[in-house]
Amino acid sequence: MYTQFGHGMVSGGQRMMDGGLGFGGFGILSTVGFIIVAAAVVGLIIWALARKSTRPGAAVPGPTAADTALAIARERLARGEIDPEQYTAIATALTGPPSVPVTSG
């Protein structure tokens, strides 16, 4: 004797859903499919986060204008285009006066 109970039929104490296969009639296939889709989503998220963190220029900023100007001044000093006093004046203008420790006497 079969009696309607919820979404399945009850016969002799057993519950049969969708012909007894479960998961909408696909059985193990839907479980495997879910695992594959879930793994693909997790992999896509990991890939996107890894790509974002290793993008060139994203983590390390480039040199500032003062750094570039100071490098040019060093090159000009090395080529003899400016003398050390001129280089010191340029470096001071770009970076500020050098800090000298104050000693109390």
pTM of the shown model:
0.36
Per-residue pLDDT tens over the stretch 68-88: 889 999 999 999 999 999 999
- Domain ranges in the chain are 11-53, 65-95
Q: Which residues contact 68 (CB under 8 A, 6 or more apart)?
A: none
Whether the predicted pLDDT of 21 surpasses 60: no
Which run of H or of E encompasses 87? Answer: helix 84-95
9 forms beta bridges with 4, 16
